[in-house]
């Protein structure tokens, strides 16, 4: 366990990749904390201006002291928006890229007023998400450690699962084990109005409850303001216990799901679980450079239909997740999406694959693993046994 800072070489390489993709932009101004941390090495409140050519400008409002300790870039104080055009030495008619997928409208209005009527804005968020989808060796090392922490946390279920205990009590034991190994306790989501607890741990029919989160599973949760994840229900013998968690190490994530049971599951759920394992294996076999997310997703759908699980894979009709895999990194919903999008698979992407069978009123079975895309195929980073864990 250590507090890892991002070296100057890492920051410089990221900035260069962004500059190479700016096209006709004068530069990009980034505010979102994860992007700020990615391109500057600190997520303290502020902004980074990355010009198409030359050195970036990092401006921090709070805390400048911590930003200077964390970032390898020079740190300037962020002053009023009114002086920002002058402080950044922006020319008349500047073309500026912004994170329009996450930037609040009020901030946009203030920025537009500060930079003047001749400034032209465009959305650079798609470019950033594609840049971040390909991991460096530095990032891969951190994700490997996140996967190791995750394996330890999920494996702890076997030592803590007892008949009659509440879902939230079992979740607390899992989360404690990971927190003590360095999990930050946060799982970052980029999508608007999307947030996650550290994981989903639900038993029986509760696991099959839908929720608003972009996930195959929901769960009841503990509050209508976070209506997902473990609740107060007590775990019964013979029902599936879904354990779906994100491991985290120094901000980087890995994603994994395993199924546990006190005793033995029904033959129907056992068979469905085996089908999910076959689908994951088929998807993993296609995770190589040049693959296309849409084609891999179509393969998983075809496999599910071939085996007779089209009404359960990813959720029941009308409530399907709409994807079977997603990128992970600093956020849980990164590119590529293994769904109906033409995302190209590139070496050093990190992809979580999650074929799950959802049976409303009964429970959930299935699998999720995090894979590293290599030059000739995929390496599974989450290494726990994939069969149903009988306790």
Instruction: Give the domain 8-131 fold.
Output: Creatine Amidinohydrolase; Chain A, domain 1 (3.40.350)
Question: 20: burial class by Cβ within 10 Å (0-12, 13-18, 19+)?
Answer: exposed
Task: Please tell me the predicted confidence (pLDDT) of residue 1.
Answer: 75
Strand partners, 349: 134
Task: Please tell me the predicted confidence (pLDDT) of residue 359.
Answer: 97
Task: Please tell me the predicted confidence (pLDDT) of residue 141.
Answer: 98
For the stretch 307-355, pLDDT in tens is 999 999 999 988 899 999 999 999 999 999 999 999 999 999 999 999 9
Identical topology for domains 8-131 and 134-390:
no
Q: Which of 192, 193, 200, 199 is nearest to 253 (CA)?
A: 199
SS3 content of the chain, % helix, strand, coil (to 5): 35, 25, 45
- Report which DSSP code applies to 227: -
List phi, psi (to 5°) of 193: 65, 25
Query: Tokens 């932009």, residue?
Result: 25
Token pair in block for residue 307: 């085996």
Token pair in block for residue 131: 């840049």
Give the chain's count of helices (H) and strands (E).
11, 17
Tens digits of pLDDT across the chain (391 residues):
799 999 999 999 999 999 999 999 999 999 999 999 999 999 999 999 999 999 999 999 999 999 999 999 999 999 999 999 999 999 999 999 999 999 999 999 999 999 999 999 999 999 999 999 999 999 999 999 999 999 999 999 999 999 999 999 999 999 999 999 999 999 999 999 988 999 999 999 999 999 888 899 999 999 999 999 999 999 999 999 999 999 999 999 999 999 999 999 999 999 999 999 999 999 999 999 999 999 999 999 999 999 999 999 999 988 899 999 999 999 999 999 999 999 999 999 999 999 999 999 999 999 999 999 999 999 999 999 999 999 9
Task: Please tell me the predicted confidence (pLDDT) of residue 60.
Answer: 98
Could you tell me the strand order of the sheet in which 325-327 lies? 334-338, 325-327, 350-353, 369-373, 378-380
Instruction: Give the domain 134-390 fold.
Output: Creatine Amidinohydrolase (3.90.230)
Alpha-carbon span 238 to 187, nearest angstrom: 30
Q: Where are the domains of the chain?
A: 8-131, 134-390
Alpha-carbon span 190 to 330, nearest angstrom: 10
Q: Which of 162, 149, 145, 232 is nearest to 198 (CA)?
A: 149
List phi, psi (to 5°) of 203: -115, 145
Q: Which ranges in 325-388 belong to alpha helices (H)?
A: none
């Amino acid at each position: 366990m250590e507090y890892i800072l991002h070296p100057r070489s890492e920051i410089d390489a990221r900035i260069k990749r962004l500059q190479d993709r700016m096209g006709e932009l004068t530069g990009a101004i980034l505010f979102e904390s994860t992007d700020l941390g990615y391109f500057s090495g600190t997520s303290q409140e502020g902004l980074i201006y990355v010009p198409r050519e030359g050195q970036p400008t990092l401006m921090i409002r709070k805390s400048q002291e911590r930003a200077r300790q964390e970032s390898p870039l020079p740190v300037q104080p962020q002053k009023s928006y009114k002086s920002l055009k002058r402080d950044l030495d922006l020319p008349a008619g500047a073309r500026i890229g912004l994170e329009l997928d996450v930037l609040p409208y009020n901030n946009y209005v203030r920025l537009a007023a500060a930079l003047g009527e001749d400034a032209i804005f465009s959305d650079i968020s798609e470019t950033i998400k594609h840049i971040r989808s390909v991991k460096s060796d530095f990032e891969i090392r951190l994700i490997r450690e996140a996967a190791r922490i995750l394996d330890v946390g999920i494996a702890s279920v076997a030592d803590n699962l007892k008949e009659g205990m509440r879902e939230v009590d079992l979740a607390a034991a899992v989360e404690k084990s990971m927190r003590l190994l360095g999990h930050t306790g946060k799982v970052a989501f980029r999508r608007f109005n999307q947030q996650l607890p550290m994981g989903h741990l639900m038993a029986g029919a509760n696991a099959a409850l839908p929720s608003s989160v972009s996930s195959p599973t929901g769960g009841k949760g503990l509050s209508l303001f976070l209506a997902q994840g473990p609740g107060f229900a007590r775990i019964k013998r013979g029902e599936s216990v879904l354990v779906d968690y994100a491991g985290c190490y120094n901000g980087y994530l890995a994603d994994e799901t395993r199924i546990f049971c006190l005793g033995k599951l029904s033959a129907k759920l056992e068979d469905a679980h085996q089908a999910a394992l076959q689908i994951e294996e088929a998807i993993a076999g296609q995770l190589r450079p040049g693959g296309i997310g849409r084609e891999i997703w179509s393969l998983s759908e075809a496999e599910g239909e071939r085996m007779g699980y089209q009404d359960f894979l990813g959720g029941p009709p009308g409530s399907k997740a709409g994807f079977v895999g997603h990128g992970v990194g600093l956020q849980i919903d990164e590119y590529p999406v293994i769904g109906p999008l033409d995302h190209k698979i590139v070496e050093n992407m990190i992809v979580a694959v999650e074929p799950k069978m959802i049976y409303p009123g009964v429970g959930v079975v299935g699998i999720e693993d995090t894979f590293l895309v290599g030059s000739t195929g995929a390496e599974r980073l989450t290494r726990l046994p994939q069969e149903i864990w009988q306790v």
